[in-house]
Amino acid sequence: MEFILASSSPRRKQLLSTIISNFDIIPSDIDENKLKKIESNPQKLAEKLSYEKAYSIFNNKYKENNEYTVIGSDTLVSFGNIILGKPKDRDDAIRILKLLQGNSHDIYTGTTVIIKKEHSIIFETRVNKSTVYFKNMSYYDICSYVDTKEPMDKAGAYAVQGIGKVYLKGYDGDYNSIVGLDTHMIKAIFEKYNLI
């Protein structure tokens, strides 16, 4: 069985490697902005993005005869039903963190696993919701954190597994899903279909 992660995220790569040691990385090139214009519900959008990412890679390989499994994932940060993407620049990162500091927000991680095995094609999709609680941050704290550059390529302008964790009170939900991959769901599916 060949395993494919439809993402170039180093965090997702690291998390998937805790379940399986050998897999290929083929990043999806779907137009995420197109879907974001159609769907504003963060839970539905995370589900659709994970599915589209996995399906785009699966569809490209479909004519091949071998058996394979494709994993697609997408993580969205939602504050008051407003989806917060990656900051456009330093000022945008500061704006986002000013919103989040002293508040809670939700993280939606959509995960899709598509399996081509023998004469079957199996689709499994799930969305995991977690809630993250931020400490109060001064303007100096926010600027200092933004100047580390860590927030600049992160949805919600922070990394729960990085420097940003010092500004968090805690979370409800699944840590790995907050980082970017629902490893519990993936492992359960792999075991269900005897892939590992």
Q: With 90 as the cut, is the pLDDT of residue 63 above it?
A: no
The pLDDT of residue 52: 96
Give me 45's structure tokens: 């959008």
What is the 8-class DSSP label of residue 161?
A: T
Q: What is the pLDDT of residues 125-138, one digit of tens each?
A: 999 999 999 999 99
Question: Beta-carbon neighbour count of residue 62 at 10 Å?
Answer: 12
Give the C-alpha separation, 17 to 24, whole Å.
11
With bands split at pLDDT 50, 70 and 90, how would you rate the model's confidence at 169? very high
- pLDDT, residue 152, reads 95
The rounded mean pLDDT for the chain is 94
- Which amino acid, 182? D
Where in the sequence numbering do the catalytic residues fall? 74
Can you tell me whether residue 147 is helix, strand or coil?
A: coil
Domain spans, the chain:
2-192
Structure tokens at 104: 């809670």
pLDDT-based confidence at 31, cuts 50/70/90? confident
Find all residues with CB under 8 Å of 152, minimum gap 6, and list them.
Answer: 86, 87, 90, 93, 146
pTM, to two decimals: 0.92
Q: Given a cut of 90, is residue 33 above it in pLDDT?
A: no
pLDDT digits (tens, 9 = 90+) for 79-97: 988 999 999 999 999 999 9
Any idea which architecture 2-192 has in CATH? Answer: Alpha-Beta Complex (3.90)
- Residues 184/176, Cβ–Cβ less than 8 Å: yes
Asked whether residue 196 carries a pLDDT value surpassing 90, the answer given is no
pLDDT surpasses 90 at 188: yes
For CA atoms 28, 34, 35, 41, give the dihedral sign: positive
Q: What is the pLDDT of residue 141?
A: 97
Separation of alpha carbons 168 and 182, rounded Å:
21
Return the closest-CA partner of residue 98 out of 137, 133, 135: 137
